[in-house]
Amino acid sequence: MKPFGIGLAAALIVAVMAPAAVMSASKGAPPAVSEAQRKQGMAEAPAVAQSIGITCQVTDARFIGKQADAKTKASTSYYEIDCDKGLGFILQSPAGGKASAFTCIEADTPQPDGKPSSLPCVLPGNADPKADLVPLLAKAGVTTCVPDGARGIGQSSTNTFLEVSCQGGSGYVIQAAAPATVDGAVVANDCLVYDAGEGNIKCILHDKASRMAVVDQYVKAANNGCAVKDRRFVGMAQSGAAYWETSCQDGKGYIYQVEKGQLAKTFECSKAQGILGGCELTNTKEAETAQAGLYTSLSKKAGFDCAVSKYGPFPSPAGLDVVELACSNRTDGAVGIFAGPGQTSRVVDCARAPLVGYRCSFTKPEDGYKFVTADLKKMGKDSCNVSAIRIIGKTAKGTTYLETACSDGLKGYVLEYNTAPTLEPVSATGCAFTKDCKLPGNV
């Protein structure tokens, strides 16, 4: 869960390279934009922007000035543009060289010594560049952030890094292309990812306490009765979902899965062991023991005698609690599919659990081969003790095929199963009569 480290050069190169005349003019009030500057800007800047991949419609522009290098005498022209969508830019265009661009957020960011920017954006359409971040945030999947602050972090050769703070305390580091347009790839990582990280990117517009306060809105949405005692940012999954933990005054605890700024799922800490390391703010041992006892009772009622020693939840459909079960009284484990009151629950051994979409990790599937052997016997195939299995796939009518191998080395069978509402074999075909078998000994 550590954020990536980016080695950045000077954060705002544009401030260093700005024309001296413009730098001195910007020490007072923002310079007025003359009609001559606008005319030259609109005539020249759109082509410069297009040459470096800024494809927006330029709605306003100004020519800032030109500077000659003291050593090489090569000249560089500077422009500001306002786009019809997304951010505005400062452009620098060296004669005979490749142009480059900096967003108005970067251009407006104070210098490292705290002094105001030497070359801010001044066009009316760029007066509030943080508002222009909304399209970039939306491209990154963040739709709940109303920006109340922004700053430039810096650029690498291919990316632009910006920090944006949001009303309510949250914040993000935006990683966009260079130049930072909505046409390129955009990623937004929560500032909390960087708080404990070792990289050189940090969020400074809001403090960590303000960012942590956002979890209270997820607790409210969960409506789980938690009076928050403590809060923790757990981390982010590869899918982009963020996870938060709270401990509660009554001793309980929860992990909240947040997607695109909205609460997606809530997990009791007793069922959250597999989520980025589980809960840390709550002592879950007692709750886990009680939960294991409940699963022991439920599995017995479903016809599978398992003294649950360990359990792990699967992502579950609405109305179901699906968990893998390890048992202290037997070597074979199972997957419990537990329904609510008045509905039918079932437990499927780990050997056949893939038939209903789940795969065990606590126990070995071969410990449950006896159940597949029993299914063969139901189909009149008494000579095969199953030694290996392979899921072949589903049929058009919704049944599932399972290949078996036999311990005596003779060819095995393909079992056809109905998987709902119960798991039952409906046919068995010898591998000698089908081309679907691939296990050793069957071909």
Share of the chain above pLDDT 70, in %: 93
Residues 278, 293, single domain; the answer is: no
Residues 376, 419, single domain; the answer is: yes
pLDDT tens-digit readout, 345-386: 999 999 999 999 999 999 988 999 999 999 999 999 999 999
205 inside domain = no
- Rounded to whole angstroms, how far apart are CA atoms 75 and 207? 43
**Look-up: residue for tokens 């480290």?**
5
Rama region for 201: left / alpha / beta (φ>0; ψ in -120 to 50; rest): beta
Total-model pTM: 0.61
Domain count, the chain: 4
The SS3 call for residue 171 is: strand
User: Would you state the pLDDT for residue 295?
Assistant: 93
CA dihedral defined by 228, 230, 231, 234, rounded to 10 degrees? Answer: -120
**Domain range for 378:** 367-433
Mean pLDDT of the residues in the chain: 87
Share of the chain above pLDDT 90, in %: 63
Nearest to 41 by CA among 92, 7, 80: 80
Residues 415, 395, single domain; the answer is: yes
Residues 274, 346, single domain; the answer is: no
- Rounded to whole angstroms, how far apart are CA atoms 159 and 155? 6
7 inside domain = no
* Widest Cα–Cα separation across the chain: 95
Q: Which residues pair with 425 in a beta bridge?
A: 417
Boundary of a domain, candidates 283, 315, 335: 283
CB atoms within 10 A of CB 135: 15
Mean pLDDT lowest for which of 171-185, 276-290, 291-305, 385-399?
Answer: 276-290
Residues 320, 234, single domain; the answer is: no
In one letter, which amino acid is 387? S
CA dihedral defined by 213, 141, 56, 58, rounded to 10 degrees? Answer: -20
Tell me the two tokens of residue 273. 């062991």
Please, which residues have CB within 8 angstroms of residue 132's CB and are 6 or more apart in sequence? Answer: 83, 86, 87, 88, 104, 126
Question: What number is the average pLDDT over the span 417-438?
Answer: 94
Residues 330, 274, single domain; the answer is: no
Q: Which residue has the higher pLDDT, 400 or 7?
A: 400
Which residue pairs from 439-443 have beta carbons closer than 8 angstroms and sit at least 24 positions apart in sequence?
A: 439/388, 439/389, 439/390, 439/403, 439/404, 439/405, 439/412, 440/388, 440/405, 441/405, 441/406, 441/409, 441/410, 441/411, 441/412, 442/403, 442/405, 442/411, 442/412
Boundary of a domain, candidates 79, 108, 130: 130
Residues 44, 111, single domain; the answer is: yes
Decide if 358 contacts 335 (C-beta within 8 A).
yes
The gap from C-alpha 120 to its chain's centroid, in whole angstroms, comes to: 34
Boundary of a domain, candidates 243, 262, 283: 283
Residues 232, 324, single domain; the answer is: no
Q: Residue 29: pLDDT above 70?
A: no
- Rounded to whole angstroms, how far apart are CA atoms 187 and 413? 50
Residues 102, 121, single domain; the answer is: yes
